[in-house]
């Protein structure tokens, strides 16, 4: 979970092209903060733990709705997208066909809790389906969780890349340099997944992956959350960085992260 959450915090001060599209920047400063990506990552983890590892898809969806609304109300000013805001607080009932990258930025817990890639993908879809039930919204979540699962269970980057191409059809052949040049601020799964995948595949460590994602500009906190979640599966996150991340988080969020990490050690 720290993979996504630290990515969100590190990317927070560069969102909307406030950075120089460079990998050279101070990693964490006083200006950084957690945003919606961290709050919803905590919410999904909380939901999946409440549902239990063998829960039905229906139950997972119910717990996700409950937890997202619970955590969203505790942290209403975290920078939610307009339609998600309407779902959290307004009259919007049910899923709204989104293909926004919100389904991918919040899904990382699903990459850690299950013992097959098929079950990982089924749960990832369920976490997305409650709001982001457009095929691309579902795919973005499923792909992110599958990459985490494959990375943490020993697949090489080559194996992961060919799995992603075969199963999800993303084209991530564009170089990071070209992505930086062409870039606009886009918050869709179709735009964010190739960028996050390229950042991960070209990265040499957790930190280097996050720097790749932030250097692309645009929706930097979410790009870094998705790429960082993938990198955590592959490299883990250094304890020193986790400790620094805690300084930016509230105690109730840290409580969920601790419970989640303890659960993982038992698996
Ligand atoms: Mg955000």
Question: Over the range 115-140, which residues count as b (16 or more CB within 10 Å of their CB) and which as e?
Answer: eebeebbbbbbbbbbbbbbbebbbbb
**Gap from CA of 43 to ligand 1 centroid (Å):** 14
Measured from the Cβ of residue 74, the count of other Cβ atoms closer than 10 Å reads 13
Helix segments in the chain, DSSP class H: 2-11, 36-51, 57-74, 82-89, 102-105, 117-129, 135-152, 157-168, 176-182, 189-202, 206-215, 220-235, 239-246, 251-266
**Gap from CA of 168 to ligand 1 centroid (Å):** 24
Q: Which CATH class is domain 2-266?
A: mainly alpha
**Gap from CA of 261 to ligand 1 centroid (Å):** 23
CB contact set of 256 (below 8 Å; sequence gap of 6+):
42, 45, 46, 49
Residue 202, CB half-sphere, CA atoms under 13 Å: how many? 20
- Confidence class for position 49, pLDDT limits 50, 70, 90: very high
Please report the pLDDT score of residue 232 as a whole number: 98
Q: Return the C-alpha torsion angle 164, 202, 22, 249, nearest 10.
A: 70
Mean pLDDT to the nearest integer, 79-87: 93
* pLDDT tens digit sequence for 101-111: 999 999 999 99
Measured from the Cβ of residue 28, the count of other Cβ atoms closer than 10 Å reads 16
Break the chain into its structural domains and give their ranges: 2-266
**Gap from CA of 26 to ligand 1 centroid (Å):** 19
Question: Over the range 88-102, which residues count as b (16 or more CB within 10 Å of their CB) and which as e?
Answer: beeeeeebbebbbbb
Please report the pLDDT score of residue 185 as a whole number: 79
Please report the pLDDT score of residue 254 as a whole number: 98
Instruction: Write down the pTM of the prediction.
Output: 0.96
**Gap from CA of 102 to ligand 1 centroid (Å):** 9
- Nearest one of 10, 45, 9, 47 to 215, comparing CA atoms: 10
> Is pLDDT of 184 > 90?
no
**Gap from CA of 185 to ligand 1 centroid (Å):** 12
pLDDT above 90: percentage of residues in the chain: 90
Higher pLDDT, 122 or 21: 122
**Gap from CA of 266 to ligand 1 centroid (Å):** 31
**Gap from CA of 37 to ligand 1 centroid (Å):** 5
**Gap from CA of 224 to ligand 1 centroid (Å):** 10
* pLDDT tens digit sequence for 214-248: 999 999 999 999 999 999 999 999 999 999 999 99
**Gap from CA of 225 to ligand 1 centroid (Å):** 9
Mean pLDDT to the nearest integer, 44-71: 97
**Beta carbons of 105 and 45 less than 8 angstroms apart:** no
Q: Which residues surround ligand 1, an ion (CB under 5 A)?
A: 35-37, 79, 221
* pLDDT tens digit sequence for 140-180: 999 999 999 999 999 999 999 999 999 999 999 999 999 99
């Amino acid at each position: 979970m720290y993979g996504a959450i630290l990515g969100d915090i590190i990317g927070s001060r560069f969102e909307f092209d406030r950075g120089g599209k460079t990998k050279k920047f101070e990693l964490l400063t006083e200006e950084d903060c957690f945003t919606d990506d961290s709050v919803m990552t905590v919410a999904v983890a909380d939901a999946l733990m409440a549902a239990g590892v063998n829960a039905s898809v229906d139950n997972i969806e119910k717990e996700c709705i409950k937890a997202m609304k619970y955590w969203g109300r505790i942290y209403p000013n975290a920078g939610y997208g307009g339609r998600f805001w309407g779902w959290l607080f307004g009259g919007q009932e049910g899923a709204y066909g989104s293909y926004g990258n919100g389904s991918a930025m919040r899904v990382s817990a699903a990459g850690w809790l299950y013992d097959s890639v098929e079950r990982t993908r089924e749960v990832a879809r369920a976490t997305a389906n409650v709001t982001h039930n457009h095929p691309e919204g579902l795919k973005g979540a499923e792909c992110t969780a599958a990459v985490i699962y494959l990375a943490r269970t020993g697949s090489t980057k080559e194996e992961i890349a060919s799995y992603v191409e075969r199963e999800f059809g993303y084209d991530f052949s564009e170089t990071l340099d070209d992505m930086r040049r062409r870039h606009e601020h886009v918050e869709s799964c179709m735009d964010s997944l190739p960028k996050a995948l390229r950042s991960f595949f070209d990265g040499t460590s957790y930190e280097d992956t996050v720097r790749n994602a932030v250097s692309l500009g645009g929706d930097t906190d979410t790009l870094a959350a998705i790429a960082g979640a993938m990198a955590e599966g592959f490299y883990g996150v250094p304890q020193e960085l986790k400790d620094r991340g805690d300084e930016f988080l509230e105690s109730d969020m840290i409580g969920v992260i601790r419970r989640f990490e303890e659960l993982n050690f038992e698996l």
